[in-house]
Structure 1
Amino acid sequence: MAKITYIAFDGTVYDIEAREGTTVMENAVRNSVPGIEAECGGACACATCHVYVDPDWVEATGEPQPMEEDMLDFAQDVQPNSRLSCQIRVTAALDGLIVRVPESQG
């Protein structure tokens, strides 16, 4: 299990224990984190699971793959640390990960 901290657009903190092998998006949806809609169900086809990865975790989560980069073009308020949470797979190395939900998804 890895602890993931989601910070909603209003500042509410959600600390969630996530099973390895799941995605950051799946855990957000399962735990009703506001702003993570995941309309496509994790197929990297909608950008409604956009998050900002905390700067301390950018290297650990890796770079977006080309398909994810293309979908980020459809997200609002994209920043250098933007990722689609459906594309971040939970591993033991991500224990303590912090992500923020963009205000535009509130």
Structure 2
Amino acid sequence: MYIPVKQQARTVTAKYVIAGGDKNGQQFAPDSQIQVFYAQTGSLNVANNTITYGNWQWDQTAGDSTTPGFKVIYGSWSLPKEAGQTLKLMFLIQARIMLL
């Protein structure tokens, strides 16, 4: 019996803004967007002939060859950094579920 693997992708948009200080709220890099891929595998319970699916797992077999598990839609996921500067990131993520 064939048990299909369920797949989903979530679209994530990152907005890079400064939090705090005299530059609070200023954008320091262009927005970026990626898709993150997930898969859920199932198994057959032969006692009652039902399929039970496990937890969603990050699917590194999907996505771009250079970024397994991800597909860059636009922008860069390499953050700019000036010499001697450290970055503390806090993301507000708005995700949209899309069935593949």
TM bucket, shorter chain:
under 0.3
Higher relative contact order (CA 8 A, sep 6+): 1
* Structure (1 or 2) with the greater strand fraction: 2
Larger Rg: 2
Instruction: Compute the TM-score of the two structures, normalised by the length of structure 1.
Output: 0.24
